[in-house]
Chain A
Amino acid sequence: MSVVPAGTLYRGKVGMWSWVLHRVSGVAIFFFLLVHVLDTALVRVSPEAYDIVIQSYKTPIIGLAELGLVGAILFHGLNGVRIILVDFWSKGTRYQNAMFWIVLVLAVGITAYFTPGHLERILEF
């Protein structure tokens, strides 16, 4: 007899994991927006302080996080379109699986398209 403390994770398919990714990317984007609104509002308080804060973002780590931001926004936005189609297009529920993979390919593809140019800018820091 073996004792494991918890029950197993529900083995949902693409639909469930797309929802998890949508939620995670949404929360991540929210925190970016929060910081973004605060640092932009700083320009009204003190332009010098604003310059210092923006300058402090020019590090490789923030640079890589920006790539993640592009990926998260692309996924969240495109998957949002998928969810609208699931809700309002009569055939949406039948094609949700295929639509998810299209969303993922587009999000990864477009992020990859931006990556080389962005990495060059990071290397200039």
Chain B
Amino acid sequence: MSEVKEIAEIPYFTVTLSIRRFDPEKSEEASWEEFKVEMHSTDRVLDALHKIKWEQDGSLTFRRSCAHGVCGSDAVRINGRNRLACKTLIKDLDINSTITVEPIKGLPVEKDLVVDMNPFYQAYKDINPFLVANDKPEKERLQSPEDRARFDDTTKCILCAACTTSCPVFWTDGQYFGPAAIVNAHRFIFDSRDDQADLRLDILNDREGVWRCRTTFNCTEACPRGIEVTKAIAEVKQAILRGKP
């Protein structure tokens, strides 16, 4: 019996979270608020946010849906870097000092950790993120494994905005398409079944298109799906210069 208990016991510790709070109905200024929570080594930052919301302050506002790193709802800035709260284990952070949690940068904050994602989605819509084929489909469109591998990396995007809001160019120039839109354009530009690469390359060959990229690699480092974002952007730049994918 005691052996079973030993296995079941998970180490726990107390951590302090400093959360960037903003409520436009109370104050025009955002401020930091500290919370102490008891967490297990298996817990993620999202679990800490839940615990605070459920047990300490029900007004804490944040987005989450699947809570397993697929839906892309809970991108926040943890200890200064964009991460998914549901994929960041607290034990992997420095638990002896305060963990900071802030909304992602460059998009208007609506409340606490919730930002207005519309400018982000608009840039995504602007690159026509859907397959456009000129011929009539009589049967499925076949593709060789090599052709499929060409854009495999960029199919992984979950539109969490961690990359776009880690980009220094996007912070100061909200008109910039941003890494996520370029990644999703890349996914179709290099798809052998797609016939609209020219149009997409033309859209991104803009003042606010790929040429805004300053290769800071913040996006690649922030992507929770491990997409080599800067590499994808560089490939789109080269495709524009070539005039074809």
Q: Point out residues on A near B: beta carbons under 8 Å.
A: 1-5, 7-16, 18-19, 83, 86-88, 92-94, 96
Measured CB to CB, the closest approach of chain B to A2, in angstroms, equals: 6
B40 CB–A CB distance under 8 Å: no
- Minimum Cβ distance to chain A for residue B100 (Å): 6
Known: A8-B100, A88-B238. A15 touches B218 (CB 8 A): yes
Identify whether the interface residues of A are mostly helix, strand, loop, or mixed. Answer: loop
**How far does the Cβ of B222 sit from chain A's closest Cβ, in whole Å?**
9
A2-B34, A3-B31, A16-B168 are contacts. A87–B216 as well, Cβ < 8 Å? no
Please tell me if B128 contacts chain A, counting CB pairs below 8 Å.
no
Which B residues touch A96, using CB under 8 A? 215, 217, 230
A11–B79 contact, CB under 8 A?
yes
CA distance A15 to B222 in the complex (A): 12
Query: Is there an interface contact between A11 and B80, defined as CB atoms closer than 8 Å?
Result: yes
- Contact size range, B: 20 to 34
CA gap between A2 and B34 in the complex, in Å: 7
Instruction: Kindly state the separation between the CA atoms of A24 and B130 in the bound complex, as whole angstroms.
Output: 40
B residues in contact (CB < 8 Å) with A: 18, 20, 29-34, 77, 79-81, 100, 102, 105, 166, 168, 214-218, 220-221, 228, 230-231, 234, 237-238
- List the 5 shortest-distance A-B pairs measured between CB atoms, nearest first: A15-B217, A11-B80, A93-B231, A16-B216, A19-B216
Check A13/B221 contact, CB under 8 A, given A83-B215, A86-B234, A92-B234.
Answer: yes
CB of B201, distance to nearest CB on chain A (Å): 16
Contacts of A87 in B (CB 8 A): 215, 234, 237-238
**Cβ-defined partner of B215 (8 Å) among A5, A9, A15, A94:** A15
